[in-house]
Amino acid sequence: MATVDCQVEGLFVYPFKSARGQPLESVRLGPTGFEWDRHWMAVDTQGKFISQRTHPRLAQLVPEIEDEALVLRAPQLPDLRVPLSADSGAAVAVRVWADECAGLDQGDGPAQWLSRFLGEELRMVRVIARPERIANPQYAGPDPKPITFVDGFQMLVCNRASLEELNTRMPEPVPMERFRPNIVLGGLPAFAEDRIDSLTLGEITLRLVKPCTRCIITSTDQRTGERSTDPLPVLRTYRMDHTLHGIKFGENAIIVSGLGSRLHAGCMAKVTFDS
């Protein structure tokens, strides 16, 4: 297998599912992915997850981890502080896509805050200490890979050159934040990620296992929460995957090794391509 060097241009964590991403200079790798990634989310009265697909205004929800608390900020609302303690809240049944799992309800105060922000009755939940969901073994392999409230895999890797190539075809450019990556790579050709087998970043090794098929969230301005320039019609002309029944951009990844290690923006990485 061929191996080349590249650079980690950006690191992002999304503590609250479908809220705005948090760019970081360094981040620790936990058993489910980056520390705090998608540990909280909003659910409706039936326990079903809420995302920007139906609630684009979630992009205006800004989460940060500060002083042993998740801090949520939103327009015209006071900041909300939720303790990081992993055992806080009553266990409730929640659903992320087809997965039924347990979450910890964060109480009436956060529920009222979220409901006021989005204008409907909602609850806030967080992951349990040992998440029950696992990445799809068809792609992740037989060794169970635990996941939080992510859509399906532990991490998402995108390539800066792929975005730049896409933007040469767009009527106006779209930023990388529309694709909500955890890791952004630089120094590779456009769409080289299609052929990456593994990514080694110091003590951390990730395996890229499945293209990420994209949805309407890529048309949502991550600053205003409004629908904007949609890259999907352009991507459909040359990035349609008929096996996956979707338009692909970026690669889902799972953790091979390096739990507990820290990753730093700007570090160099070794990429091993499929033979």
Residue range 99-126: average pLDDT? Answer: 97
Mean pLDDT across 70-78:
98
Q: Provide, rounded to the nearest whole percent, the portion of the chain with pLDDT above 70.
A: 99
Mean pLDDT of the region 209-231: 98
Which residue segments constitute the domains of the chain, with CATH numbers given? 3-273 (2.40.33.20)
Burial class (CB in 10 A: 0-12, 13-18, 19+), 76: exposed
* pLDDT(200) > 80: yes
Which amino acid is located at 184 in the chain? V
- Of the chain, the percentage scoring pLDDT greater than 90 comes to 97
What tens digit of pLDDT does each residue of 18-72 get?
A: 999 999 999 999 999 999 999 999 999 999 999 999 999 999 999 999 989 999 9
Which of 130-137's residues contact partners 24+ apart within 8 Å by CB, and which partners?
Answer: 131/32, 131/101, 132/101, 132/102, 133/96, 133/99, 133/101, 135/209, 135/252, 135/254, 136/210
Mention every residue, 6+ apart, whose C-beta is less than 8 A from residue 126.
Answer: 39, 40, 41, 82, 86, 88, 89, 103, 104, 106
Confidence of residue 86 (pLDDT cuts 50, 70, 90): low
The DSSP element (H or E) to which 222 belongs, if any, is none
Question: Do 180 and 58 touch, CB atoms closer than 8 A?
Answer: no
Q: Provide the pLDDT for residue 89.
A: 85
Mean pLDDT of 152-158: 98
Rounded to the nearest integer, the mean pLDDT of the chain is: 97
pTM metric for this prediction? 0.97
Q: Tell me the average pLDDT across 172-176.
A: 98
Is 80 exceeded by the pLDDT of residue 182? yes
pLDDT score of 80: 98
